[in-house]
Amino acid sequence: MQFTVGELYAMQQVIYKLMMKDMPIRTAYRLSKFSKKMGDDLRTFDEQRKKLVEKHGTKDEKGENFKVEQENMEAFRKEIAEVAEVKTEIDMEPIRISELGTDIQVTPADLALLDKIIKE
């Protein structure tokens, strides 16, 4: 299944929230595998994000953290958007709602973020 890195970034919190719920073991296993693969791509995204912050930002007074100033924000956003559009492939069959069990509750907003991996 193909995702953009931005899609994975948007769904990560919902995936972690789902992983804290009790569900059938097969579904939990599939979701856990997906989460690990997603984590690999998101670590790479985070490394690139940090490089862009360093490129477009300046260090704070303590010299510990970088901050992107307003005058560089447009260039930073443009480059981070390019990284977010990178496509990645994660081998996974969609999970049917019925495979999640009967006690799982999610918001419509959460479900919309999981549209590619959760099917009716």
pLDDT digits (tens, 9 = 90+) for 19-74: 999 999 999 999 999 999 999 999 999 999 999 999 999 888 887 889 898 999 99
CA distances (Å), 44 to each of 33, 55, 63, 71, 75, in order?
17, 17, 24, 26, 20
**Number of domains, the chain:** 1
The answer to whether the CB of 37 falls within 8 A of the CB of 56 is no
Domain around 107: 2-119
CA 55 to chain CA centroid, Å, is: 23
**What pTM was computed for the model?**
0.83
The answer to whether the CB of 27 falls within 8 A of the CB of 98 is no
**Bridge partners, 3 (sequence order):** 88
Q: Side-chain half-sphere of 53: how many Cα atoms within 13 Å?
A: 12
